[in-house]
Structure 1
């Protein structure tokens, strides 16, 4: 049995992390190599992970609700993956030729996911989305896409445009997607129509106005960065109907949300994609991305001796380590295991909601299966505009994240938290208990006053 959860992991008790951050600032811009690392006031450097827990370089232990941004569905150091990868490394880590392992993982994905008839492996979720968009363009002969405000789809220029919302253009009142970074080519916005998630009327208007120009509708079935928004049934149904009517492909970005069930998130929410992107859990903790979909659409990558309309390579695409680790991870994710994770997720979300209601605090909880997100709002948001936080709410969530961290739990700020198969009911109760402590010791009115 694990010892009692560590308490008191404030920044002053992490001197080795502080020293490593000092060194990091000497070699990395901003001191780290990912902009998603939380600096509050400095990153926590990890030394190891076992099951549901991670241990930092100063010896502090944390229950991990991040799991490398939802990647580690089995937690850390999952023994079957460790054993399989260790054995593989003695045979060779990568080759310029294909291996049997990529076929086995592809067969598993095709067998499980209704929308997937053929697969192509890449190295990241960003690459998967990028090549899915290119495939849609090649198949339809059209350049533009629809995407939804606030949703994260990686760092391809056209996929990024609008992830931070829209702005008005000139005096015409036309909305255009905000660029994701300084210096982004403004031309990318010409081929990106940014709509509001769950806005059925806006969806119908946007598609009808731009149909002749549109290659694809890019959608995360339950966008995490935008608030872990649950699609309303009318929205999912209308999206599919209109796409079919105008010959527009639907790209479901399930890089994160594939963990929602044995068949993924699209099947769960009534979305019928032509292409689907996957990543994270299908790599077993190693870099991976995948594009899957209809055979005729996937044929743009080549076949039957024809040159590809969309050339796609990658030195480490379908590398054996990721293929073997991913296969082991996914084989262990049986329907029964998905059901167990969902029961745990439902139980946790209900405990959090009951606690907020009992103490009359303005918090709500969005969630599905093993994913959840706490909102400093009395009602669960259904659109990106509703989920956006004001200054007081942002401060509240920073305080919540710090409170959890100082009691030995890593709760992501501004993103979905997740469970792993390594977690137990005791871990669930601990999360709910810390949330209750936070609500009892923090008065929401102090944040409202600073909104």
Structure 2
């Protein structure tokens, strides 16, 4: 796509602002997904290449969002572009299967220890939804236990508890199933049990108390939106043990965190799930989701107990794009991203210490998140931002954008294989400059 060229004397972002006015006439709120960053205004993208984005106003940005961690190779990754171009000439979707879906499924089964069989869908939300449905079909129970503050897509039972605040989330030992939207049915809330991440004693107690109605425990090994905090191995072990003792399935949501390593997040953090929801990086930048798991758990998809379909499930474009993207993610490439991530997190933390700033850093592998808190959170309530902390995050977000770095606000930033040490230097140096501009003694 050719960039629109700002007219001489035009203000920065003028073309994006004009497009935003057009969008307001045809989209509620001017956008088609609420996760789009609108602060201080919309940035309409003209094109992307490698680690960078270029907007319609001619501005260039280092992209740490990567469409919410999806683009592990950055933009315009040539092997994906070539494979998709060839596939488009043959046709984009059929009601019959293709060899491409077998190849991508074989790759996932070979890599991810907990995955012996796969079913493809079109989104991460669908992957989580069908994993929960499979657990229900296998156990004949309706209930879902999930981590407070964790995001798992837009399925009703997976959404509960992701939006809690000090006003709504209830006591620490009895967190409430906070609705995700106005009018969410109370019957949905009744079938969701909220657990606090890394709180071993309370989690075990609540799982046991509700065991007879729980089909599964839905758990992201490193909850991103809830704080991107590291799991306590003892917590994962305790939750798994009590689940096994009570016939409850473990569903790992690795839609985002499969990028934690060559074998995924569960293998990295010591979780042994029955079912795994996957997405994002396995589609090479195209819509995708997948449910994988042990052969015994996946067998339910081949019976009358659970029907699963989807017009665009396993479409050949997503299959070939995902296959090329995943083939390129060798152990060496995962290790390189990990090295870049470790180095960047260390430099960010060193800058914070030098400045005596009330910030901290969480994350692992190619993911990181900067918190306006002295100590990195270990669970959602610690990660929740008060008004002063929210203002600090906004200042950071604006400063980074003004200096050519796009970071997702309040979510995980991600590195891509297209990034170089110079790109990491830019992030670290820009953050250091930001800290130099702040007066932490008078920040209220």
Closer/same/farther in 2, CA of residues 391 and 121 from structure 1, 3 Å limit: same
Alignment match, 2:159: 160
Structure 2 contact 45–56 (Cα < 8 Å) conserved = yes
Alignment match, 1:8: none
Aligned residue for 1:368, secondary structure, equals coil
Tell me if 1:415 matches 2:414.
Answer: no
Instruction: Give the drift of 1:445.
Output: 3.4
Whole-Å separation in 2 of the counterparts to 1:352 and 1:374: 9
Structure 2 contact 170–176 (Cα < 8 Å) conserved = no
Alignment match, 1:191: 191
Superposed CA deviations along residues 122-168 of structure 1, whole A, max 9, x for unmatched, are 00000000000000000011110100110000000000011123777
After superposing the two structures, state which structure 1 stretch, 337-346 or 357-366, moved more.
Answer: 357-366
Alignment match, 1:96: 95
Alignment match, 1:340: 336
Tell me if 1:213 matches 2:252.
Answer: no
The alignment yields a C-alpha RMSD, in angstroms, of: 1.5
Alignment match, 2:268: 268
Structure 2 contact 71–416 (Cα < 8 Å) conserved = yes
Superposed CA deviations along residues 385-417 of structure 1, whole A, max 9, x for unmatched, are 000010000000011010000000101100000
Aligned residue for 1:176, secondary structure, equals coil
Alignment match, 2:135: 136
Instruction: Give the drift of 1:174.
Output: 5.8
Whole-Å separation in 1 of the counterparts to 2:169 and 2:349: 41
Instruction: Give the drift of 1:315.
Output: 0.5
How do 1:40-439 residues align onto structure 2 when only pairs under 5 Å count? 40-165=39-164, 175-302=175-302, 307-439=303-435
Q: Unaligned regions of 5+ residues in structure 1, if any?
A: 1-10
Instruction: Give the drift of 1:41.
Output: 2.9
Aligned residue for 1:26, secondary structure, equals helix
Tell me if 1:37 matches 2:36.
Answer: yes
Whole-Å separation in 2 of the counterparts to 1:170 and 1:407: 40
Structure 2 contact 229–362 (Cα < 8 Å) conserved = yes
Instruction: Give the drift of 1:175.
Output: 4.2
Whole-Å separation in 1 of the counterparts to 2:51 and 2:442: 34
Closer/same/farther in 2, CA of residues 264 and 169 from structure 1, 3 Å limit: closer
Alignment match, 2:26: 27
Superposed CA deviations along residues 307-362 of structure 1, whole A, max 9, x for unmatched, are 43110111000000000000000000000100000000000000000010011111
Structure 2 contact 153–159 (Cα < 8 Å) conserved = yes
Whole-Å separation in 1 of the counterparts to 2:31 and 2:231: 35
Instruction: Give the drift of 1:170.
Output: 11
Instruction: Give the drift of 1:299.
Output: 1.1
Structure 1 contact 112–263 (Cα < 8 Å) conserved = yes
Structure 2 contact 341–368 (Cα < 8 Å) conserved = yes
Instruction: Give the drift of 1:295.
Output: 1.0
Instruction: Give the drift of 1:431.
Output: 0.3
Structure 2 contact 229–379 (Cα < 8 Å) conserved = yes
Aligned residue for 1:423, secondary structure, equals coil
Structure 1 contact 168–174 (Cα < 8 Å) conserved = no
Whole-Å separation in 1 of the counterparts to 2:168 and 2:31: 34
**How many residue pairs get matched?**
433
Whole-Å separation in 2 of the counterparts to 1:64 and 1:149: 29
Q: Unaligned regions of 5+ residues in structure 2, if any?
A: 1-9
Structure 1 outlier segments of 4+, above 6 Å? 166-171
Structure 1 contact 352–435 (Cα < 8 Å) conserved = yes
Closer/same/farther in 2, CA of residues 294 and 40 from structure 1, 3 Å limit: same
TM-score between the two structures when normalised by the length of structure 1: 0.94
After superposing the two structures, state which structure 1 stretch, 234-243 or 425-434, moved more.
Answer: 234-243
TM-score between the two structures when normalised by the length of structure 2: 0.95
